[in-house]
Amino acid sequence: MKYVEFMKKVLPLHDDLFDFFYQALPGYEEVGRRRILLGCWGSFNDPEHCDYTYKNMTAWGRKMFVTPGVVVDGKLVTTDLVDINLNIRILLGSSYYDDWKNAETFVKADPLGNPVDKNHPWNQTTIPRPQKRDFAGKYTWVMSPRWLDKRTGDHLALDTGGGPIARLWATALAGLVDIGYIKSTGHSVKIYLPKTMSKPEVEFEWKIPKWSNAIERDRARTYFQAYAAACALHFAEKAMEELHAGKTKTWSDFKVPEEAIGCGFHEAVRGVLSHHVVIRKGKIANYHPYPPTPWNANPRDIYGTPGPYEDAVQNTPIFEENGPDKFKGIDIMRAVRSFDPCLPCGVHMYLGGGKVLKTQHSPMFGVPR
């Protein structure tokens, strides 16, 4: 409850701060802005519905307390975990690996009989090929995960927006979650926090923003903290019911099968997290995890599509007022960190002796596109 109270204090404060950015720096909405291409793999399973079988995955996926979904240009394309699963593609293009065209195809069809692509994680074979770094060719160890939009045939470079913005956006549009504490309306998410020690009850509402940009990614973080706190209250109540009913078992027995395939979809803090495994003779024959980092931090793929960081950062306006000599790249940092707070370590600006990058501080950027 201390945390619930803390959220009541901190959420309005953050809201003010982010609004202030827009007021004080007109045009700031362009920082870290990219096309709305968000992926959320769903979070907080409902034990009443989730049996973890692939066969029923579509149904129990939609019962999650954070709805899985792919949002393209503000439209919800799917909430179906099977659909999400089958259309994941791992592409090369700028990464230090050989392709696996001639390697084994581990999984030809999923348990429902749907065909599984050679570039799907179930069939990926990792063949490292260390080589010189060439920014016009191969330049990273990260591969390029994409989601195939069947409507257009595009391999979309989805981002997680740091996690929260994708979770809230998919959940808001889907309109599936209603637990009292949380209500998805189809265009927003209502978050109810009851009375705490020094604060009365409050209802926050996260409304779908106009942009997928640095500020809105950061704003969604604070809302999702409140969202998680509200869910926690619901879960604590359910847990108490279980306890009072004498149901205290926390673990069920399992046996590793001789032959099997498996997959798992969840949200890590920073966004989508999937696991794909192939088991043979009781051992792991193939395994590929896809946490948020490769989705957000990947390079140009074989089709020339840049990954989200590159996409969000290229042509981003610079509001920093330090001259070229003292240039810190704060706006670029802010853009990248809005995808991933774990990445301050990875984001290091190289200015190429101050010649390559120019400081572009101009009120022109206040003009909306």
Partner 1 sequence: MGTSTVPYGRSTQKAPAVKEVHILWITAGLGCDGDSVSITAATQPSVEDVVLGAIPGLPKVHLHNPVLAYEVGDDFMKFFYDAEEGRLEPFVLVVEGSIPNENIKREGYWAAMGTNPDTNQPITTNEWIDRLTPKALAVIAIGTCATYGGIHAMEGNPTGCMGLADYLGWDWRSKAGLPIVNVPGCPVQPDNFMETVLYLLYQVAGLAPMIPLDDQLRPTWLFGKTVHEGCDRAGYYEQGDFAEVYGSPKCIVKLGCWGPVVNCNVPKRGWMAGIGGCPNVGGICIGCTMPGFPDKFMPFMDEPPGAHVSSAGISVYGRAIRSLRSITQNTVNKEPKWRHPRAELTTGYHPRSY
Q: Which residues bind partner 1 (CB under 8 A)?
A: 96, 103-104, 125, 127-133, 248-251, 253, 285-286, 328-329, 333, 342, 344-345, 347-351
Least separation, in Å, of the C-beta of 127 and partner 1? Answer: 6
Tell me whether residue 145 or residue 329 sits nearer to partner 1 (CB atom): 329
Only one residue has tokens 């063949």, namely: 127
Least separation, in Å, of the C-beta of 250 and partner 1? Answer: 4
Cα dihedral sign for 309, 314, 318, 323?
A: positive
Tell me whether residue 98 or residue 149 sits nearer to partner 1 (CB atom): 98
Q: Can you tell me whether residue 278 is helix, strand or coil?
A: strand
Residue 146's nearest CA partner among 136, 154, 138 is 154
Q: 279: which strand partners?
A: 260, 284
Tell me whether residue 27 or residue 291 sits nearer to partner 1 (CB atom): 291
Could you tell me whether strands 154-156 and 182-184 are parallel, antiparallel, or unpaired per DSSP bridges?
A: unpaired
Least separation, in Å, of the C-beta of 330 and partner 1? Answer: 9
Least separation, in Å, of the C-beta of 128 and partner 1? Answer: 5
Only one residue has tokens 């990260």, namely: 142
Say how far residue 39 (Cα) sits from the centre of its chain: 5
Least separation, in Å, of the C-beta of 347 and partner 1? Answer: 7
Tell me whether residue 98 or residue 205 sits nearer to partner 1 (CB atom): 98
Tell me whether residue 16 or residue 259 sits nearer to partner 1 (CB atom): 259
The phi, psi pair for 267, rounded to 5°, reads -110, 125
Tell me whether residue 127 or residue 240 sits nearer to partner 1 (CB atom): 127
Number of C-beta neighbours around residue 126 at 10 A: 12
Q: 190: which strand partners?
A: 183, 205
Cβ neighbours of residue 12 closer than 8 Å, sequence gap 6 or more:
none
Q: What angle do helix axes 164-174 and 214-244 make, rounded to 10 degrees?
A: 70
Least separation, in Å, of the C-beta of 251 and partner 1? Answer: 4
Least separation, in Å, of the C-beta of 83 and partner 1? Answer: 28
Tell me whether residue 74 or residue 291 sits nearer to partner 1 (CB atom): 291
**CA 14/CA 218 separation, integer angstroms:** 9
Residue 123's nearest CA partner among 285, 6, 259 is 285
